[in-house]
Amino acid sequence: MKITIVGAGYVGLVSGACFADFGHDVTCVDKDDAKISALSDGIMPIYEPGLDALVAKNAGADRLNFSTDLVTAVAAADVVFIAVGTPSRRGDGHADLSYVYAASSEIADALTGFTVMATKSTVPVGTGDEIERIIKERNPKADCVVASNPEFLREGAAIEDFKHPDRIVVGIEDERARGPMTELYRPIYLNQGPLVFTSRRTAELIKYASNSFLAMKITFINEMADLSEAIGANVQDVARVIGLDKRIGSKFLNSGPGFGGSCFPKDAVALVKTANDYDRPLKLVETTIAVNERRKRNMASKIIDAMGGEVRGKRIGLLGLTFKPNTDDMRDAPSIAIAQTLNGEGAQISAFDPEGMAQAELELPFLNYCNSAYSAAQDADALVIVTEWDQFRALDFTRLKTLMKTPLLIDLRNIYRRSEIEPFGFKYRCVGRPGEEIA
């Protein structure tokens, strides 16, 4: 099948590369000349493990192409995907759909022959209806059906998620979309990937409901961590045991400094805004948002408390800045609030992240960026694990002790145990495991 993806960002690029790897003929279109030029030269605009090799493989086989020519790409396509950004709108928190609607107008003008237009961008309920209206207004003769096909890709594991999904959701209002969308995903479906067809509005809601539920799950275990610290329990044992219950499951039950990233924060806010528009407030989601924002600031307070209540003039090393490992994404990362708070209290901050420092510098220009975890630890009064990159899981504590002014490790991701670092003379603070801490 011939596929055109409008928007060569994270979702569009990963989806395009994976569709091409299944044998489809894919063109990724973007207005950014520099991005398209770079992609044509094999230079990725984002960090995602394995993506550069997958793009190179399929571009070399001429199954994946990059272009700024939307008209030609759309005219030749069987299915056109909209994969442009939908950031939170300034002022009110609603999803900004200006890019989606602009793309829809341009696509409508270029349509020829029967085409399925599907949204991969995360969009509020009813967006598909508006896209349909735009098409009819711009090109009344267009033979086009509009579908919703939300993505469920985890940054850092996006290729695996695309090729081996838990579910594939397709929302349609016109049965003519069923055949092309089934054929599009046939390589996955034959491997037992569950292809679920729903109404278009249902599909749009599923995406927001999924992300908001996972955000609530993370926030729940973070509150259990706070309670565990107060009563002397171990939150990791709590999480492990409740996760054994198949009704609950073990994923997203790791306590830490709060959730961030490109999806959970903005999608939870957008869902709340949609619910309020229909006079059906979502109090659980509203509380989740508030608790998560407060938690990020509280993590800075936890660091300050571990350092005796005063950090002015002290040096702190931060390990990990991105919101999660295996990505360079800094959007709503807990490290931002943590670093800003510590900086405001007068701390001197050194930091290292394996992939995210270029993006971090845009948000946190006041940090001293280092080329390794050990450089960040030089002369530090405390070392803080903020993001659980694999290379932080086997630190050389003998070396660290010789570098640091004070051997204090504050582990906001609980990747170590007291017994592992106590022999090296380190003081240790963690999250939700008071029995593990060396005060």
> Is this prediction's pTM over 0.95?
no
Q: d(Cα 281, Cα 96) in Å, to the nearest integer?
A: 20
380: Cβ contacts below 8 Å, ≥ 6 apart: 315, 316, 317, 350, 403, 404, 405, 406
Partners of 5 in the β-ladder: 28, 81
pLDDT of residue 207: 96
Q: Which domains does the chain have, with CATH numbers?
A: 2-198 (3.40.50.720), 207-439 (3.40.50.720)
Q: d(Cα 89, Cα 246) in Å, to the nearest integer?
A: 38
The answer to whether 18 and 159 have CB atoms below 8 angstroms apart is: yes
Q: Which two tokens stand for residue 397?
A: 């504590």
Of 82, 74, 64, 80, the C-alpha closest to 24 is 64
Partners of 369 in the β-ladder: 351
Q: d(Cα 360, Cα 322) in Å, to the nearest integer?
A: 8
Sheet holding 79-82, edge to edge: 64-67, 25-29, 2-6, 79-82, 115-119, 144-148, 168-171, 195-198
pLDDT of residue 193: 65
pLDDT along the chain (439 residues), means of 10: 96 97 97 96 94 97 97 97 91 87 97 96 95 96 97 94 94 97 88 86 97 97 97 97 97 96 92 95 97 96 97 98 96 97 97 97 97 98 98 97 97 96 95 90
Q: At what angle do helices 283-306 and 200-231 cross, to 10 degrees?
A: 40
From 28, 263, 370, 430, the catalytic residue: 263
195: Cβ contacts below 8 Å, ≥ 6 apart: 168, 170, 182, 185, 188, 189
Kindly report the number of other CB atoms within 10 A of residue 196's CB atom: 12
Catalytic residue status for 28: no
| DSSP helix/strand/coil, 109 | helix
| DSSP helix/strand/coil, 93 | coil
pLDDT of residue 395: 97
Q: Which two tokens stand for residue 267?
A: 């999608």
pLDDT of residue 93: 76
